[in-house]
């Protein structure tokens, strides 16, 4: 029997990937030459041969560790969870919760355990009370659990491989930290017999003791906060490697844009394990060299080690229920009616220069201050500070123009001039039509701006009816959890987590930007980006955005799977 098989190869990395030897074998069995870069191939082959094809999951590496060392993105910093990962505390925790639930005639099963694993103390208690209909308040449940657990905490043993890994990374000067949902007092009890080992960590974040972290795991807030506290933070979230044992913790780190090594409970489903970048049964099996870290002394990749490898997720996944396909990134692509990009479900707008014509006012005010000192704001300077946090942008101007004042003084003088002119801001062409159209079709929208909320509210004061259609607004300057502004991805990643669940995948979010730094931020977050740049901007400096437009009037929603305009 012969059959016709259609292979759709992704334009970048491929939905289906075959080893080179298999491609040659396929090539010899079909009637025309295979072109590896073709977007579609149709050919005939025997059904029996089809069964021999070693299909692998999309971009998932097969177990070829015996042939070569599989490399993920190189990391520079490491963050560990604690309970169930470094210390064997989960058994004690489950036994105590089980005893309380049994007291009220309820059963604490694995499914309930999985739901609260890694969650904050309060969130976990709420889930259990809700699901099991316990006749307790959250505070009463936490108190009863704590009374049972305190006696057992000091007896916690280290998990296999934990001591070896921490000492090795410390010896190699790899910055390490701890991020736990546990309270500080319980952390001290649990680590009482292992203080020397835990002193090797640069710092720790106990979520309940950090009021600025408003949301625990599975939200990214705690890992973003923890990563920002290194003396020299990583240049990019994907350069941070997180070790986790829970699903909630894994989702938290992935949503923060970090890579994750998961050491799950043996009862966890295979599909949940595959959400992590890399999964092992024990820390003993972890190979540091896979992430560009120094190998253990005399270590080599052992082909007998059972591992589950997953592609480097970088910042491409926010919601992990379905496979995530890379967005098609095009350089300097103009939009036309025939252009097709991966469909999106959510939209995030920049504000200054994109929705509102504030850049003209901003530039005039800065230039006015600089002229006092015999300097001038050039187009190149204006382009490089556009979209960046005020502090970073003004520091650049002081250094670049060699101004005889500090960045703080430049900010103060510019703000004084701008405040009176902010209400003059006009809406950019095409904004009202696009925002109303997306709202009409229930497309969730948000604004992510580097501006302070005080100034943002002044700027939009004439257009509150339009801006009320946004689901939420993220003012990066006011968010303590966001330690790095544009062009870093932190702002857009944080903004994306504020949408109502289920959260979208990164490449299901369409970002509209007018600046180089803003577009770079959206791309670094794994999102698709439409750039609407200033005409004076040198096109050679455009980042590789999904597409670029002269105006929002040129945007065609249907190109991104959104409903087309009615008119």
Active-site residue (options: 221, 245, 326, 352):
352
350 as an active site residue: the answer is yes
- Element housing 475 (H / E): strand 472-475
| Joined tokens for residue 43 | 């050919």
CB-count exposure of residue 465 (10 Å: 0-12, 13-18, 19+): exposed
Determine the distance from the C-alpha atom of residue 318 to the mean position of all C-alpha atoms in its chain, rounded to a whole number: 6
Active-site residue (options: 350, 357, 490, 514):
350
| Joined tokens for residue 287 | 């190979």
Q: Smallest Cα–Cα separation from 226: which of 424, 431, 35, 481? A: 481
- Spatial distance between the Cα atoms of 476 and 133, rounded to a whole number of angstroms: 40
- Which position has the token pair 């469909």? 343
Determine the distance from the C-alpha atom of residue 556 to the mean position of all C-alpha atoms in its chain, rounded to a whole number: 27
Alpha helices in 138-209 (DSSP H): 138-153, 162-171, 184-190, 195-198
With b for 16 or more beta-carbon neighbours within 10 A and e for fewer, the 69-81 pattern comes to ebebbebbbbbbb
- What DSSP letter does each residue of 488-527 carry, written as one string? SSHHHHHHHHTSPSSPPPGGGEEEEESSHHHHHHHHHTT-
Q: Smallest Cα–Cα separation from 263: which of 290, 235, 282, 237? A: 282
- Spatial distance between the Cα atoms of 483 and 527, rounded to a whole number of angstroms: 20
130 as an active site residue: the answer is no
- Spatial distance between the Cα atoms of 225 and 473, rounded to a whole number of angstroms: 20
| Joined tokens for residue 4 | 């016709």
- Provide the annotated active-site residues: 350, 352
């Amino acid at each position: 029997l012969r059959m016709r098989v259609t292979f759709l190869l992704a334009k970048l990395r491929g939905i289906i990937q075959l080893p080179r030897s298999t491609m040659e074998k396929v090539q010899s069995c079909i009637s025309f030459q295979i072109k590896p870069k073709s977007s579609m191939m149709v050919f005939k082959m025997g059904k029996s041969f089809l069964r021999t094809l070693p299909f692998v999951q999309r971009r998932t590496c097969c177990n070829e560790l015996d042939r070569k060392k599989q490399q993920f993105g190189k990391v520079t910093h490491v963050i560990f969870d604690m309970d169930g990962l470094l210390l064997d505390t989960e058994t004690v925790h489950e036994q105590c919760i089980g005893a309380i639930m049994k007291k009220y005639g309820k059963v604490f099963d694995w499914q309930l355990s999985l739901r609260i694993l890694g969650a904050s103390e309060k969130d976990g208690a709420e889930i259990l009370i809700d699901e099991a209909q316990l006749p307790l308040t959250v505070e009463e449940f936490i108190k009863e659990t704590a009374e049972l657990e305190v006696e057992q905490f000091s007896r916690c043993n280290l998990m296999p491989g934990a001591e070896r890994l921490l000492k090795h990374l410390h010896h190699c000067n790899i910055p390490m930290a701890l991020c736990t949902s546990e309270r500080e007092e319980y952390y001290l009890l649990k680590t009482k017999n292992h203080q020397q080992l835990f002193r090797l960590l640069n710092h720790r974040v106990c979520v309940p003791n950090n009021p600025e972290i408003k949301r625990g795991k599975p939200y990214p807030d705690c890992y973003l906060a923890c990563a920002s506290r290194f003396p020299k933070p990583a240049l990019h979230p994907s350069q941070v490697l997180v070790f986790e044992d829970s699903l909630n913790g894994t989702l938290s780190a992935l949503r923060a844009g970090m890579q994750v090594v998961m050491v799950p409970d043996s009862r966890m489903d295979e599909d949940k394990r595959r959400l992590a970048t890399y999964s092992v049964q024990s820390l003993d099996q972890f190979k540091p060299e896979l992430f560009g870290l120094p190998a253990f002394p005399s270590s080599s990749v052992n082909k007998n080690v059972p591992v589950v490898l997953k592609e480097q997720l970088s910042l491409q996944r926010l919601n992990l229920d379905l496979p995530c396909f890379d967005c098609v990134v095009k350089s300097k692509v103009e939009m036309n009616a025939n252009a097709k990009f991966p469909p999106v479900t959510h939209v995030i707008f920049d504000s200054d220069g994109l929705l509102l014509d504030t850049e003209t006012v901003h530039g005039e005010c800065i230039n006015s201050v600089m002229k006092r000192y015999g300097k001038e704001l050039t187009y190149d300077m204006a382009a490089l500070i556009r979209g960046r946090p005020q502090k970073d942008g003004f520091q650049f101007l002081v250094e670049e123009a060699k101004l005889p004042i500090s960045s703080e003084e430049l900010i103060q003088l510019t703000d004084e001039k701008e405040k009176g002119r902010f209400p003059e801001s006009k809406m950019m062409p095409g904004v009202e039509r696009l925002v109303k159209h997306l709202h009409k079709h229930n497309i969730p929208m948000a604004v992510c701006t580097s501006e302070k909320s005080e100034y943002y509210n002044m700027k939009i004061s004439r257009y509150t009816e339009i801006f009320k259609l946004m689901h939420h607004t993220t003012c990066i300057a006011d968010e303590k959890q966001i330690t790095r502004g544009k062009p870093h991805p932190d702002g857009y990643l944080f903004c994306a987590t504020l949408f109502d669940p289920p959260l979208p995948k990164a490449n299901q979010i369409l970002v509209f930007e007018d600046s180089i730094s803003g577009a770079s931020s959206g791309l670094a977050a794994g999102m698709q980006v439409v750039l609407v740049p200033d005409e004076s901007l040198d096109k050679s400096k455009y980042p590789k955005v999904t597409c670029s437009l002269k105006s929002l009037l040129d945007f065609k929603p249907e190109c991104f799977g959104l409903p087309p305009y009615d008119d």
